[in-house]
Amino acid sequence: MDQKLQEEEEEELDEKQLLEKQRYQKIQKEIQESQDRSNETLQKMKLTFQTINDVQEQARSTVDNIDNFQKTFSITMDQLLENIGKSLISNSISSSEHNPKTAIELTINEAKQLITKNTVILCGSGLSKASDIPTSKEQNGVWLYGDCNYQLSKLKTRDFLLDQTEIYWEWHKQFKQQTQDKIPNAGHIAIKNFKEKNKDALIVNLSIDNLLVSLFESEQIKYGYNKQVYEINGNIKYMRCLYECTFQEAELMTVYDIPDLLQQEIPKCPICGAKGRPHLLLLDEEILDENCRITEIQELYQRYDTIIVIGTTLQTHFAKTLVCEFIKKKATIIEINPEPVIEVGNTFWLIGKSEDILPELLD
């Protein structure tokens, strides 16, 4: 009996041990699995960290690239602005190392295809040459009066007007008389006809001689403005008050009649009796909105894609800035001049006289 009991006990013990062993093995297996999972997780984390590092590296390199791009872009823009700046103080808008010459000569028929309904016409005193009005270039920039040679660049200033008023008005009277019996030429008439057919065309006149505007005479508005032609430098036909009191009278047309001058007197303001001044932009003056509607022009020309530049050597800041704007926006520039001055940009030359070219080009 005892023997049997003992056997049973031993059996029971074996069974317990076996169970114990199995449990131990199971735990071991679980630990192993858990370790494996941990390793796997660690491995994944390592990969993730690696990826994060890579991304960080890429981000750094992207930032570097943006920096480099910004630097390059800024250098390019600086160069462009520097070149345009140089153009503004030189005699022409010329090519340089950074801006190679891109202007090419076209035939009138080829140029005709480039004209759109959004065209600006910028014309200077060269347009009136065929009407026998000399340009200041032809006069070598000098006006001869008595025994004296007056530099036109000094004479056409406010300083000169105030210092030597009589001499100034003498020049003004002579220039006015030079234009008196002259008539518009084929170039003026072609521009007038073009504007009639293309109501949106923007006509900007740098010339002060009144010939082009005389074709539009019935469209006169206040201050001696012409509704259809922007006369940026004013008009020889008008005067106003030296102290600008005439601008207070909205409807006043400051017509320049010369009774005062014919009596060798300095013209007076018809309102306050102070000295009169010409309705011209003097070379040492800022452009004022009241004088030439500059804001209106600046707002308008943004939407134009073509400019025809006629008979001007772009000596004034306004004219150069306007052409530079068209170069910057890569718009079409057609230059009509015996000796063209715009060498860069999307520029096409028609070399010759405006009175020969314009009737065919604008027909």
**Site residues (CB under 5 A) for Zn ion?**
241, 245, 269, 271-272, 274
Helix/strand/coil for 117: coil
User: How far is C-alpha 135 from the geometric centre of its chain's CA atoms?
Assistant: 27
Nearer to Zn ion, 169 or 301 (CB): 169
Q: What letter would DSSP give residue 174?
A: H
CA distances to 120, 144, 148 from 139, in Å: 29, 9, 14
* Residue that is written with structure tokens 């060269």 in the block: 126
CB of 245 to Zn ion, least distance (A): 3
Nearer to Zn ion, 245 or 258 (CB): 245
Closest CA to 23 of 323, 31, 4, 47: 31
What whole-number distance in Å separates Cα of residue 150 and Cα of residue 168? 10
Nearer to Zn ion, 111 or 239 (CB): 239
User: How far is C-alpha 264 from the geometric centre of its chain's CA atoms?
Assistant: 44
Nearer to Zn ion, 57 or 265 (CB): 265
Closest CA to 304 of 118, 168, 47: 118
Cβ-proximal residues to 106 (8 Å cutoff; 6+ apart), any chain: 334, 348, 349, 350
Nearer to Zn ion, 184 or 276 (CB): 276
Write out the DSSP string of 192-255: HHHHHH-TT-EEEE---SSHHHHTTGGGB-GGG-BSSEEETTEEEEEEEETT-GGGGSTT---B
Closest CA to 260 of 252, 270, 271: 270
Nearer to Zn ion, 216 or 247 (CB): 247
Binding site for Zn(2+), by residue number, is 241, 245, 269, 272
Binding site, by residue number, is 241, 245, 269, 272
CB of 197 to Zn ion, least distance (A): 41
Cβ atoms of 354 and 127 closer than 8 Å: yes
Sign of torsion, CA 255 259 261 262?
A: positive
Nearer to Zn ion, 86 or 268 (CB): 268
Nearer to Zn ion, 142 or 274 (CB): 274
Tokens read off for 220? 């006169």
CB of 74 to Zn ion, least distance (A): 50
* Residue that is written with structure tokens 């309705």 in the block: 279
Cβ-proximal residues to 165 (8 Å cutoff; 6+ apart), any chain: 266, 275
